[in-house]
Amino acid sequence: MIFIFIQLIYYDEETHTVESIEKMATILRKRGMNAANLKVDVEKDEGHWHRTWRKGFKKAFPWIIGE
């Protein structure tokens, strides 16, 4: 089984990056990735720091981190 988690952290001037990630996710879905195996997390105005990555890790692997 393949599991893909994409976390994108962006600011207003970087909306082209969001469009690119959405395009990539659409292509993967068309190629057979289902919602359970493909997660996309877009965090606007978050810093590139441990707290943001931990938040994303919790979304990707809730059974490891817990609620």
Q: Read off the pLDDT of residues 2-59 as tens digits, 9 standing for 90 and up.
A: 888 888 887 777 778 888 889 999 999 999 998 888 988 888 877 777 777 788 888 8
pLDDT at position 67 is 57
pTM attached to this predicted model: 0.68
4 membership: H or E segment, kind and range:
strand 4-10
Tokens 């938040």, located at residue: 55
Query: φ, ψ for residue 54 (rounded to 5)?
Result: -65, -40
**55 is in which domain, residue-wise?**
4-65
pLDDT at position 57 is 81
Number of structural domains the chain divides into: 1
